Amino acid sequence: MKKILIVSGHPDLNDSFANKTILEEMHKLLPDAEIAYLDKLYPDFCIDVPKEQERLLRADIIVLQYPLFWYTAPSLLHRWIEKTFTHGFSHGKSGDKLKGKQLVLSFTTGAPEEMYSYDGPQQHLIDDFLTPYKQMANLCGLQWCGYVYSGGLSYASRHDEKELARMKEKSILHAHRLVEKLKSME
Ligand SMILES: Cc1cc2nc3c(=O)[nH]c(=O)nc-3n(C[C@H](O)[C@H](O)[C@H](O)COP(=O)(O)O)c2cc1C
């Protein structure tokens, strides 16, 4: 089995429902996968670059797990990418350390899936917001392996018991979909 690294970019999993559930389920389904919880490791945003580059070197498959915040990943995950994907490591003339590894995005959104259409309230397909990640993969020689995403996991619905049950089920299903995808990449 390939070595899987899941990088959790949620800024505070104590205040998460969907990502917390997905990560708990992933841990149960793939106990050998390494999970880096950036909120626990770097609440101060001071990324330990050598440690994180080592983590990347160990992995065959890199999964970025996050809630969509303003159409992109939360700032903590961006900070981790900015500091860890350095010239000479991930890209540049001699920067080939990520070459051949596989990249998968796994994310949740508050808006339901159907809102991400050209004639819907979000005015774009969800794919449109992923262009920077696709090009980052391309520049670093990472294999872009697509994404698993679940919408309708709104922060605002957390006080409604029925909505919570629906979101729990959807988050667990998300984890199973992600595992299916990772297994298909073997
Ligand atoms: C600061 C912030 C920005 C957000 N931006 C978006 C957004 O651009 N699109 C969207 O569909 N949902 C957005 N949401 C909703 C989150 O994506 C949603 O609450 C999250 O995926 C739920 O995951 P969690 O329970 O793990 O926090 C935003 C939420 C916050 C707090």
- The domain that holds 100 is classified in CATH as 3.40.50.360
Count CB-CB contacts under 10 A for residue 61.
21
Q: Which domain holds residue 36?
A: 4-184
153 Cβ inside 6 Å of ligand 1: yes
Cα distance between residue 152 and residue 108, in whole Å: 8
Q: Is the pLDDT of residue 155 over 90?
A: no
pLDDT greater at residue 160 or residue 179: 179
Q: Is the pLDDT of residue 99 over 90?
A: yes
Cα distance between residue 53 and residue 57, in whole Å: 6
pLDDT tens track for 38-95: 999 999 999 999 999 999 999 999 999 999 999 999 999 999 999 999 999 999 999 9
Q: Is the pLDDT of residue 157 over 80?
A: no
Angle between helices 18-29 and 161-184 (to 10 degrees): 40
Atom 28 of ligand 1: nearest residue by CA position: 69
67 Cβ inside 6 Å of ligand 1: yes
Q: CA 176, 68, 63: angle at the middle one, nearest 5?
A: 45
For residue 47, the model assigns a pLDDT of 98
Looking at the 3D structure of the chain, how many domains does it have? 1
